[in-house]
Amino acid sequence: MTLFSDASFFILLAVAIVPAAVIGLTEHSLRHYGVVLSAVLVAAAFWGQPVQALGLVAYLVLSRCALCWLARDPKSERRFVAASLVTLCPLLVYKVSAVFSLSLWGFIGISYITFKGIQTVMETHDGLITRKDLGFEDWLYFLLFFPQFSSGPIDRSRRFAADAHGIPSRDEYAGLLARGILLLLLGAVYKMVIATLIHRYYSPTVWGTGDFGTELWAQVKTAYLYGGYLFFDFAGYSFMAMGASYCLGIRCPRNFRAPFIATDIFDFWNRWHITLSTWFRDFVFMRITRWLVRRRSSRAASVWPNAVFWPTCSSWASGMALQLTTLGMVSFTACFSRQRKASRSALGSTRLTAMTSGSGFSHGS
């Protein structure tokens, strides 16, 4: 069974929403029900794939042990680095081995569960999560929450825990349930109807021997069709994930916000796969920036975070495929150029203000 794809999943989901609605509308906690339901549906997704299931269990055991070990002395840099490496190890093994067509330690949802696992490690090290917040049930629910398990959106642990432990009023949950059902229907239209229709006309071909204009048009048409298909397929899944989350009382964050009306590539990445972009921003980009600033490397802090951020994003998404790694470098170049232009504009404005202030031309003088 494939989450948010097979008919069997949607039948199970429809059945599962009924008890959730009863529990929520009677103002009881949905947390325990959500844990059991997530465990059942994730287990169903791994049915008939014992090797992948074993890989998931091994990951959960290793990451839980690493997190508990770090929690005993969260400020220890040695423990933090070791716990981070243990938590990242399966994903690194899988991504590197995939380059050689081996795909070792791969299992459904490996990327997103790793993002959540390393997030809890970093937040424990930063003191944002204490040992009291690391209950096994809450941790397991966060990692295995089935709407977000295979393809996101990537939630934040403290926000997720607040929703999981909260008990909304009857009216509040009724609003969540109604919105959740609408998002499920909208996502189904995006993914099952529009994306399927676009994919029917999508037929990539190599550059042929015809005249230049014909071949160029074929490539441009293919590129736009693929972009449309990718958006409606992924956004449709994300809307359905949000809808299922809302039905369980979890306010899942939005993942897409009209990316094709973006004004530039920087704005585009603020609208496309938002939870991934913000995750990398908070847990990769900003950490590298702070580390460089603390070492008084202001020039390096304006270059290296972007140089690491974009290739890392693209390598994760593509498994180190040349095309998307190149896209990451192009994004880095575009965003870095934009950043330098903005910095120069700000510097110019500062100098102009200083000059006009000294000359008596500033506003209100």
Which of these three, 132, 166, 200, is where a domain ends?
A: 166
| Residue 250 confidence (pLDDT) | 96
Confidence of residue 207 (pLDDT cuts 50, 70, 90): confident
Is position 353 within any domain?
no
292 pLDDT band, cuts 50/70/90, is confident
- Reported pTM: 0.83
Residues 45 and 158 occupy one common structural domain: yes
Residue that finishes a domain, picked among 230, 254, 278: 254
289 assigned to some structural domain: yes
Would you place residue 357 in the very low, low, confident or very high pLDDT band (cuts 50, 70, 90)?
Answer: very low
Residue 350: phi and psi, rounded to 5, are: -65, -45
Give a yes or no: residue 350 inside a domain.
Answer: no
**Do 157 and 87 share a structural domain?**
yes
Most confident segment among 113-117, 223-227, 267-271, 295-299:
113-117
Name which residue leads in pLDDT, 345 or 242.
242
In this predicted structure, the answer to whether residue 342 has a pLDDT above a threshold of 90 is no
Query: Is 239 part of any domain?
Result: yes
Average pLDDT over residues 172-188: 96
Q: What's the count of helices (H) and strands (E) in the chain, helices before strands?
A: 15, 0
pLDDT mean over 115-124 = 94
Does pLDDT of 167 surpass 90? Answer: yes
What is the band of 201 on the pLDDT scale with cuts at 50, 70, 90? confident
263 occurs within a structural domain: yes
Could you give the number of structural domains in the chain? 3
Which range is least confidently modeled, 69-73, 103-107, 245-249? Answer: 103-107
The residues near 324 (Cβ < 8 Å, ≥ 6 apart) are 314, 315, 317, 318
Considering the domain architecture, whether residues 307 and 332 belong to the same structural domain is answered as yes
Residues 201 and 101 both lie in one domain: no
pLDDT number for residue 361 = 33
Same domain, 248 and 291: no
Range of the domain at 280: 257-344
Domain assignment present for 10: no
Question: Which has the minimum average pLDDT: 246-250, 274-278, 283-287?
Answer: 283-287
Q: Within this chain, do residues 109 and 224 fall inside the same structural domain, yes or no?
A: no
Please check whether residue 175 lies inside any domain of the structure. Answer: yes
Which of 3-12, 66-75, 173-182, 210-219 has the weakest average pLDDT?
A: 210-219
pLDDT of residue 269: 80
* Residue corresponding to tokens 């496309």: 272
pLDDT at 316 over 70: no
Measuring CA to CA, which residue among 150, 82, 81, 146 is closest to residue 115?
Answer: 150
Q: What DSSP character marks residue 1?
A: -
Q: Is the pLDDT of residue 43 over 50?
A: yes
Last residue of a domain, one of 201, 235, 254: 254
Rounded distance between C-alpha atoms, residue 93 and residue 125, angstroms: 24
Cis status, amide bond into 153, omega within 30 of 0 = yes
Do residues 39 and 162 both lie within one domain? yes
Average confidence (pLDDT) over 165-187: 96
The predicted structure's pLDDT at residue 298: 57
User: Cα(200)–Cα(225) distance, rounded to whole angstroms?
Assistant: 10
The count of C-alpha atoms lying within 13 angstroms of the C-alpha of 92, restricted to the half-sphere facing its C-beta, is 7
Do 173 and 72 belong together in one domain? no
Q: Are residues 175 and 237 in the same domain?
A: yes
Residue 137 and residue 119 in one domain: yes
How many whole angstroms separate alpha carbon 251 and alpha carbon 158? Answer: 12
